[in-house]
Amino acid sequence: MRSKTWVAVASIVIFVAFSVTINATAGEKEEKMTINKVPAAVKAAIEKATTGGKVKEIEKKQHDGKVSYDVDYVKDGEKKEIKVAENGKIIKTEEKTTINKVPAVVKAAIEKATTGGKVKEIKKEQHDGKVSYDVDYVKDGEKKEIEVAENGTIVETEEKTTINKVPAVVKAAIETATTGGKVKKIKKKQHDGKVIYDVDYVKDGEKKEIKVAEDGTIVTSAKAEDDGK
């Protein structure tokens, strides 16, 4: 009787785990689209925003039941991006810019932060009415990033690091979590005074990711997305 009970319990546990896996996968979907397959409101928004340019790619994304459309296009010889909600509202815009085109306070903040280095790319982003500037630069032979608000405040910093340069508690947490796997990349991010370490690693043939707080607490873990950096 006891063995039957354990079999039943094990079956329930497996079923629940399987269901959770399906739901997690279903929670985030991506698929390529064309301008003629998106909803009318989205199509109108895309055509208006990209007037005079050329749409290169449209990707439909579904996350937690919410649908949005990421649109890559070229206008005036520059690559640009917009994110459009299902109702046609433009949620986010992104375009490349240069140090001489940003506001004076932003330029000053960028020049101060990247002193001794070289700016590689600046992207102007507008999200929920707020404008910020993402800056990729190289300093001391390392790729780094900062996000600068429109008032010149540095909102976020990001830089690559190694397992031997992180705090001891963070190192221990990473080594425990990635046991049997191989760490590929560690990024140190600072946002609103809080430091987080993003760790990409491979285990059991799969790319995975963990976020570790400065005190060694693992904040999140998931399959890794390749951001190309």
Same fold, 28-91 and 98-156: yes
The Cβ of residue 26 has, within 10 Å, a number of other Cβ atoms equal to 10
Q: How far is CA 70 from CA 37, 38, 130, in A?
A: 14, 11, 18
Minimal CA–CA distance to 37: which of 60, 70, 66? 60
Which CATH number is correct for 28-91, 3.10.450, 1.10.287, 1.10.357, 2.40.160? 3.10.450
Q: Which residues pair with 98 in a beta bridge?
A: none
Q: What is the pLDDT of residue 225?
A: 54
Q: What is the pLDDT of residue 224?
A: 57
Q: pTM of this prediction?
A: 0.69
User: 98-156 maps to which CATH number?
Assistant: 3.10.450
Torsion sign (Cα): 106, 159, 140, 137:
negative
66 sits in which H/E element: strand 66-75
Note the pLDDT tens digit of each residue in 154-185: 999 999 999 999 999 999 999 999 999 999 99
Q: What is the pLDDT of residue 11?
A: 46
10-residue block means of pLDDT along the chain (229 residues)?
Answer: 44 42 54 93 95 95 89 92 94 94 97 96 91 95 93 94 95 95 94 92 92 92 56
Looking at the domain 162-223, which fold is it?
Nuclear Transport Factor 2; Chain: A, (3.10.450)
Minimal CA–CA distance to 69: which of 37, 25, 98? 37
Q: What ranges do the domains of the chain cover? A: 28-91, 98-156, 162-223
Q: What is the pLDDT of residue 192?
A: 82
Q: Where are the beta strands (DSSP E) in 98-214?
A: 118-127, 130-139, 142-149, 154-161, 182-191, 194-203, 206-213
Tell me the HSE value of 211 on the side-chain side, using a 13 A CA sphere: 9
Distance CA 210, CA 220 (A): 6
